[in-house]
Chain A
């Protein structure tokens, strides 16, 4: 009897994707939503009172707007984003063959602008890029995250994981110290979450506006008194890729609301 149990257990573990050391097991993964109070959750739940949706609306307008010397709109190639963009954000950052490395959704938008619209890249964290990426990512709301599955990105996921585990800054803290080892506890009154990026770009009450995952990561790095990596840097892309793969299975929530 116990032999069969052992075989069943072994089969179960063999079937599940291998967990890297220290990773939160899939059934214990929780979105930041579950760490918030009811008032903030209510703000996210209703599309007509979620401030992030204002940016999604702006992005929808930009999607249809002709731009660049090619005078093309995103819609001209991609049609209705509701169908063409569904599931896209859930698998980003994704491998770009031409560049030979993973890129973020923001970078993909700018590459499209350069290659197909002959338009100048939108500045990182500028309103237009945030609105467009919010609109695109919103089409994946409810879709389970699968970023990091592509074998081509494995070395970059590993690079991101190393960055996640590495102590940094004057406070000498690594991401894992709080977000793997101490979630559910509090830091100066605020709950420590698992750091699952399910809702980006999101409306952060602290910012009073929409912001990207890169902005959040840079804030965390400044928070431990480390020099933050630049927007679009390979380190931030690798970190974002690792974080998304660590969140595998959780559903996208864009645009989320967070304190």
Chain B
């Protein structure tokens, strides 16, 4: 039985097998609302952002913040003259405000994208759609994220 923490750590390091890196998760640097706004402005510029048209399907309480299923959809006829050019998703409290940018075409048929994201803490997720007429539409959703009950130690 290792008696000192150093011995425990070296023992744990010895047990670690190839490809399994001992990693501890420290509390990440929190993004600020200012970073979120800057990230949004980087995409949108000075244009006004309207509310509507965009739907964000994300569980209000997630089972695990490491993998959160998310679907963004935009009400649009998706014709050659009226379609969604791109969808941009942001978050409020991860170390970094961007989540993903998705670029569609008139032949996309439906303006809907689904993926799985990471959320570091309970926070707001914002989705902004750019239409073919270069107007921007947004929606925000609040998501509650809890940490796993038992912190995973180095394995």
A123 in contact with B18 given A187-B149, A219-B152 (CB within 8 Å): yes
Do residues A230 and B66 form an inter-chain contact, with CB atoms below 8 A?
no
A127 partner residues in chain B, CB cutoff 8 A: 19
Do residues A205 and B63 form an inter-chain contact, with CB atoms below 8 A?
yes
State which residues 155-212 of A face B: CB under 8 Å.
Answer: 187-190, 205-208
State which residues 139-155 of B face A: CB under 8 Å.
Answer: 146-153, 155
Q: Give the dominant DSSP class at B's interface.
A: loop
Determine how close the nearest CB of chain A comes to the CB of B67; give it in whole angstroms: 4
Closest to B114 in A: A49
Do residues A222 and B63 form an inter-chain contact, with CB atoms below 8 A?
no
A205 in contact with B17 given A188-B149, A219-B150, A227-B1 (CB within 8 Å): no
Stretch at the interface among A19-27, A32-40, A52-60, A242-250: A32-40
A43 partner residues in chain B, CB cutoff 8 A: 67, 69
Task: State how many residues of chain B have any CB contact under 8 Å with chain A.
Answer: 22
B28 interface contact, C-beta 8 A: no
A224 partner residues in chain B, CB cutoff 8 A: 150
Q: Give the dominant DSSP class at A's interface.
A: loop
Do residues B59 and A208 form an inter-chain contact, with CB atoms below 8 A?
no
Determine how close the nearest CB of chain B comes to the CB of A168; give it in whole angstroms: 13
Assembly CA distance A40 to B149 (angstroms): 17
Do residues B146 and A190 form an inter-chain contact, with CB atoms below 8 A?
yes
Closest to B118 in A: A208
State which residues 53-68 of B face A: CB under 8 Å.
Answer: 59, 63-64, 66-67
A215 partner residues in chain B, CB cutoff 8 A: 155
Do residues A223 and B17 form an inter-chain contact, with CB atoms below 8 A?
no
Assembly CA distance A53 to B67 (angstroms): 16
Assembly CA distance A228 to B64 (angstroms): 24
Determine how close the nearest CB of chain A comes to the CB of B1; give it in whole angstroms: 7
Give the interface size class of chain A. Answer: 20 to 34
B63 partner residues in chain A, CB cutoff 8 A: 36-37, 39-40, 190, 205, 259
A231 in contact with B148 given A36-B63, A219-B155, A259-B64 (CB within 8 Å): no
Taken residue by residue from 81 to 119, chain B's Cβ proximity to chain A (1 for < 8 Å, 0 otherwise) reads as: 000000000000000000000000000000000000000
Assembly CA distance A31 to B82 (angstroms): 48
Additional 18 contacts, C-beta under 8 A, given A36-B63, A42-B69: A39-B63, A40-B63, A40-B64, A43-B67, A126-B18, A126-B20, A188-B146, A189-B149, A205-B66, A206-B66, A206-B152, A208-B67, A219-B153, A222-B153, A223-B150, A230-B15, A231-B17, A259-B63
Interface residues of B (CB under 8 A from A): 1-2, 15, 17-20, 59, 63-64, 66-67, 69, 146-153, 155
The 4 A-B pairs at the shortest CB distance, nearest first, are namely A223-B150, A205-B64, A222-B153, A259-B63
- For this complex, 14 residue pairs linking A to B, each with C-beta atoms less than 8 Å apart, are A36-B63, A37-B59, A40-B63, A43-B67, A123-B18, A125-B17, A126-B18, A187-B149, A205-B67, A206-B152, A219-B150, A219-B153, A219-B155, A224-B150
